[in-house]
Structure 1
């Protein structure tokens, strides 16, 4: 069976799945097939794949050699690591994923050959993981550069240990471990509801305490 999955953010009330639906249906027309079902889910992109009700209900119905088509590979998860994990799970269950925004993963004829698909899927997983790691390293580097600049300007970045909230410590540990994928320093600060300069201050305090 062939399924299409469309996701839009609950934070954008005026947004609809029209663009995704038109794109998916045009792909079906161009390649001479019909979808068995198109599934729509309205949920924030910050929610991990395993916590998306419609997506999980769909996965429970997928069977070996079924095909799942999405307009953008990032619809599969919250971040790069979540996407990789979900993609691997589907591949293990012999579900073929077609992502229309991803070279080679969007070629209908090649996807029909299991050996070619598996080769493409393995290459995609390797590249996606490498890109995610590079982005994490760049983010850490940018944070450290920001701290160096602050120190060079003679700014005092320290605060008593007690003033670092347990929530910040927990979230920063997750950020360092890459659980937020390729999230930037600015994005991380925004998620915490603080400014980037404040983030640098907190990181400097925390890193200092760890030594």
Structure 2
């Protein structure tokens, strides 16, 4: 199977352009580049989701900086781990290659330390925000309906962790997009981190 080198570019406002990122990604060898505009009014990254569906074992993903790939340290750590599970190589131009090599594992270890600290801050702020909303907003409801149930995702997680099925295999078997699997598994990993850190 032909191994692909993808690039991903993201800007934070509608006024910014991708020119510099795209030039850097092309020089680094990216043959196909996906682009998203992420603003304060939306957290959707449709092109990133399409990219996650395309990535296969042996492919390489290049980003100019880690914050182009993820919104926070926990998100970055989870994405990196999931890519490693899929056999996808991640190249961050201002950091280096993150894979299963000793240097790649060292970077993941550093991420883990920062992610745990950041998780505590996020949990604290989220709880404070929800408490305020519940007390002051009569229309407040916690979360949005999910397309796939917890049982379906738990079954997919079992296929991955116990049956060692890849994301692509799970997607074909259950009809769940790889982007959704990445996202929901990322949430499960964060939940597991939270449980382990509790006294």
The interval holding the TM-score normalised by the smaller chain is 0.5 to 0.7
5 Å-filtered alignment, 1:1-211, equals 1-9=4-12, 12-26=13-27, 28=28, 34-44=29-39, 51-102=44-95, 104-105=96-97, 117-135=100-118, 163-165=135-137
* CA separation of 1:78 and 1:139: change in aligned 2, threshold 3 A: closer
Cα distance, 1:18–1:166 mapped onto 2, change above 3 Å: farther
TM-score, normalised via structure 2 length: 0.55
Deviations 1:118-173 (A, max 9, x none): 322221111012123335568999x9xxxxxxxxxxxxxxxx9x8455899969xx
Cα distance in structure 1, aligned partners of 2:41 and 2:110: 22
Structure 1 alignment gaps of length 5 or more: 29-33, 106-110, 144-159, 172-177, 180-211
Note the residue ranges of structure 2 that are not aligned, 5 or more in a row.
126-131, 144-189, 192-199
Q: Secondary structure at the match of 2:77?
A: helix
Distance 1:138 1:5, change over 3 A: closer
The verdict on how the C-alpha distance between 1:97 and 1:139 changes in structure 2, with shifts beyond 3 A counting, is closer
**CA apart distance, 1:43:** 2.5
- Structure 1 or 2, whichever has the larger Rg, is 1
Q: TM-score, normalised on structure 1?
A: 0.52
SS in 1 for 2:101: helix
Structure 2 CA distance for aligned equivalents of residues 168 and 75 of structure 1:
32
Alignment size in residue pairs = 136
Match of 1:209 in 2: none
